[in-house]
Amino acid sequence: MYEKTQNILKMAKESNTSVISFICMDYVMARSVVYAAEATNTPAIVMLYPEHVTVQKTTGFANYATMVKELAKEVNVPIGLHADHDFSYNAVMTTIDAGFESVMIDGSMNDLDTNIELTKRVTLKARELGVCVEGEIGHVGTASISDNMNTDFYTKADAAEKFCRETGVDSLAVSIGNAHGEYANTPHLDIKRLQDIHAATDVPLVLHGGSGIPDDQLMVAFSNGINKFNLGTDFLARYYDAVTSFVADYASDSDPVKIINLPEYVQAKLQPYLEERMRTLCRF
């Protein structure tokens, strides 16, 4: 069933665990998540990375929101819909207009005051519309250039407290040694910093850059305030592997429309991986 993301985050916070928010670029990925969630009886969030609309053109905003809500109706477990990184007020409003009730405004490339100003403008409007907002403070950079090692980017607890108080965000993405994409070296989350941020704020905290962080570190983070965990790179890599495997398996098949078997084939490969991630990491 479709559930507002905010309610799923509340459930995660109450259970002292984290929901996994999966980047899904299309129906195949989204459906795999929804059915893995159902099979494991674990709430999950299907998340759009806006560039999948604006750059890769794998979907449309309204099309995506409708798709996820329709898929969610097919199952009993709570399924949320969320839009990842938008960087401007107008971009967020486009996302909301398309049917998203959970969005992210990422002003983390700005100085703190500018970030607060931008985020507050978004939350004030979003609140009127019944939409919840994730903000970001500190900066979650790019893993391949080792941004996760740059402590200048890390979230500071006192700034996080001020940010939450002044903007009224519903959830907060933090930078504690995590980064987007594939890590050059095994990351080491700064758990002490996370504990300080958790103590200074009362909103669910969000961990971006989830691919490649060892599970034992994730479990510690989930018991110290991380209630939403974004997983993209690893999932997309599995998708690629499944397509590669399909091409190999069907190479000698002369059926001119064999491609129609691809979505079901890929989902059968992705779903066990997703179920394993949910069973291992989520404690609802």
HEC letters along the chain: CECCHHHHHHHHHHCCCCEEEEECCCHHHHHHHHHHHHHHCCCEEEEECCHHHHCCCCCCHHHHHHHHHHHHHCCCCCEEEEECCECCHHHHHHHHHCCCCEEEECCCCCCHHHHHHHHHHHHHHHHHHCCEEEEEECCCCEHHHCHHHCHHHCCCHHHHHHHHHHHCCCEEEECCCCCECCCCCCCCCCHHHHHHHHHHCCCCEEECCCCCCCHHHHHHHHCCCEEEEEECHHHHHHHHHHHHHHHHHCCCCCCCCHHHHHHHHHHHHHHHHHHHHHHHHCCC
Q: Which two structure tokens, joined as six digits, stand for 257?
A: 């429309």
Identify which range of 68-76, 163-171, 200-208, 261-269 contacts Zn ion by CB under 5 A.
Answer: 200-208
List 229's β-bridge partners, or say none: 20, 207
**One symbol per residue from 25 to 44: x for binding Zn ion (CB under 5 A), - otherwise; what is it?**
--------------------
We find the least distance from the C-beta atom of residue 140 to Zn ion, in angstroms, to be 5
Pick the closer one to Zn ion by CB: 233 or 267: 233
Among 82, 139, 208, 238, binds Zn ion (CB under 5 A): 208
Number of residues that bind Zn ion (CB under 5 A): 1
CB of 1 to Zn ion, least distance (A): 26
CB of 267 to Zn ion, least distance (A): 25
- Shortest reach from residue 208's CB to Zn ion, in Å: 3
Active-site residue (options: 84, 86, 106, 147): 84
Q: Identify which of residues 82 and 208 has a Cβ nearer to Zn ion in the complex.
A: 208
Compose the 115-154 pattern: x for residues touching Zn ion by CB under 5 A, - for all others. Answer: ----------------------------------------
Using the rule CB under 5 A, give the single segment among 36-44, 117-125, 208-216, 256-264 that binds Zn ion.
Answer: 208-216
The answer to whether 147 is a known catalytic residue is: no
Q: How far is the CB of 187 from Zn ion (least distance, A)?
A: 14
Cβ proximity to Zn ion: between 175 and 267 the closer is 175
Which residues are part of the catalytic machinery? Answer: 84
Q: Which residues bind Zn ion (CB under 5 A)?
A: 208
